[in-house]
Chains A and B, each alone.
Chain A
Amino acid sequence: MSTAVIHTPAEGAAEPRTTYLNAGHTLKSWLLTLDHKRIGILYLLGVSFFFLIGGIYATLIRLELLTPQGDLVTAQTYNKLFTQHGIMMTFFFLIPSIPAVFGNFLLPIMIGAKDVAFPRLNLLSWYIYMTGALFASYAMFAGGVDTGWTFYPPYSTNYANTYVIATGLGIFIVGFSSILTGLNFIVTIHTMRAPGMTWYRLPLFVWAQYATSLIQVLGTPVLAITLLLVALERTVGVGIFDPRLGGDPVLFQHLFWFYSHPAVYIMVLPAMGVVSEIIATFSRKPIFGYKFVAFSSLAIAVFGFLVWGHHMFTSSQSVYAGMIFSLISYAVAIPSAIKVFNWTATMYRGSISYDSPMLYAMGFIGLFLIGGLTGLFLAALGLDVHVHDTYFVVAHFHYVMVGGSLLAYLGAMHYWWPKMTGRLYPEGWARFAALVVFVGFNLTFFPQFILGYLGMPRRYYTYVPEFQLLHVLSSVGASILAVGLILPAIYLLWSLKRGPIAPADPWMATGLEWRTSSPPPPENFERTPVVTWNAYEFRSKEETEVIGPMGKPDVSERK
């Protein structure tokens, strides 16, 4: 810097660096951007909004369930509340959350590319997401839908007189954004890896995204067709699901769960990828059994397609089919367990630091373990008859979705926030929030296991007085969880303006994304990186080459 004396001293020693954030300031530069990082931020805004909406519905549900009788809303309104909660959280938050936000932002940087393979398709996917969201929002404000997020016929096809088609169309459309993102990632991983970035040098987040993308591309079209058939049956009475016209309502369940069970893995596989990154970084050890963790993602993606019938044990599905589905469902536990054991083995004798991303990752391991093991309860043919459609199921999938995916999402948010924004957040508050989330989550959902086992059915807005204590505990937990979610919203937004400037690699981590500046320049790297090291190869600071803009401090615009 001693030679760079062109500037007057009054301007300060730091020369403003072009980052993806200050590369253009107009609204147009955001709405028509082809930069994968900006598209990731656009998705972040979209999914955050729908998370908020879904959260408001959850709040209303928990308020109604404070007392045994229905005193806040009518039964009809309650039906709409849990339906909208499920639809918003599943299709508009969880499925796009980690892939579309962090996948978009990080995947090209992690493999050393300038962008995804099809940047225009990437932007299109965001517009498709917003269009689908528009339809679903229209249905929501016009009066909502009350079929449950699963749209089971004959109720959805013959009887429900709410906005089934508009909502279904919204989900139909948003599915294409999911397909395009998946397609883009598959091609990007195959064709855009930097020199030296072999398959076995890929970060495990990339492997997880690859497995997720396969599910998105192979599964989503089936959901689209199924919802289209529901719409056709409602409008012109095509006899696919109506027995009077020669159809079969159980066929809907087959088609719906062919996508919607693998969709669970769309939500949880990227979360597992995030956890692998965080565990390695904060244990300062390479992931134990890298190849096993990588291939277990693919195994989960494939097995995930073979188990959907375990949602249908109490439908009129054949018992023999049930046996097959039950058996294969148990098999999914194997790759899932491989991951959990390997994360634990990575932490064993590691140099663990309890920074906030690590707290979320460790929370994920524990809660996913409970969610996964209770899944085995439900995959058992006999026990499922007892707990099917009870709060046991509700608790189970919230342990996987919230305890798993949401915690990993928050962990990813904290882990990569300095990279995405160039700012550090207050670590003390972040750790406190992580603990509040963990406590609030368990208090919300653990009582629901007991409720379900005692026989409280899901989707009821009244219940017998004996259940009130457990329901009150759950509602109190939900309030605590809400505090734990509002806290990060406050301090993360605060850090955007007031947070300390983040260095390129605040965690001393190993991925390529930490070798460019924070926030990254529009083209990610100053030159194409040549990868000569394996993933999670920890080295001393001096040996770590920085491929970001050199010689200039990490200062984005200061005003």
Chain B
Amino acid sequence: MPDPSPQDAGPPPLTLAGARTGMRLTLPLVPGVIVFGTAFGAAAAQKGFDVWLTLSLSAFVFAGASQMVALELWREVWTWPTLAYLVAVTATINGRMVLMGAAIAPHVKAMPRGIRLLNFFVLVDANWLVATRYHGEGGRDLGVILGAGAMLWVLWVLATVPGFLAGALVTRPDAFGLDLVMPIFFAVMLVPLWKGLSPAIPWIVAGAVALATSALVDGYAFIIVGALAGALAGALRDG
């Protein structure tokens, strides 16, 4: 614990060194991001997307799971109801980002306004996990989440292109377990979050509620419902 009382130590720094730290901490994820980005490019090419449409999805939406699902929902001719359905599904899959943002908010609320708007844009699972761990261990540099996010964005957009061109090369990513790379990384990052059995009781609640929800409700609502149940369990504990 290098800094046990961050609120007494002045505004948190925002440095290039912090950005480099964020990038370094995210390196283990780089192969997974490149492969997933490539797989998205390949899938989009197989669906008949042109390269600009594919790139704009990666560049502006920048959320892999919702991009993959969107490929399944894409229409030759759009109507308002099909557009509304696309937006609703996107918001369900990415709804976890609301909770991720809430969890990281106490650490990043000191960000200058303009940079904050940028930080919203690059908040993804990987840099959220990296920053959660970094701030949980007492780190304060706001460059960590931004640097990691910027690197992930560049890699994600770049990886889309060779995937799009190669098309059929990554036809069976599942043979290498690549469809599960994100949950596997999540599981790995659970280890440093572990602070003993007692703080993990809400996680058990979250897991049980998520399992029940996924059995009862189609789609990705289980993440939000389970995580909220875990947070509630945390709030209701004494201490």
State yes or no: do A and B come from one complex. no
Interface of A with B (CB < 8 Å)?
none
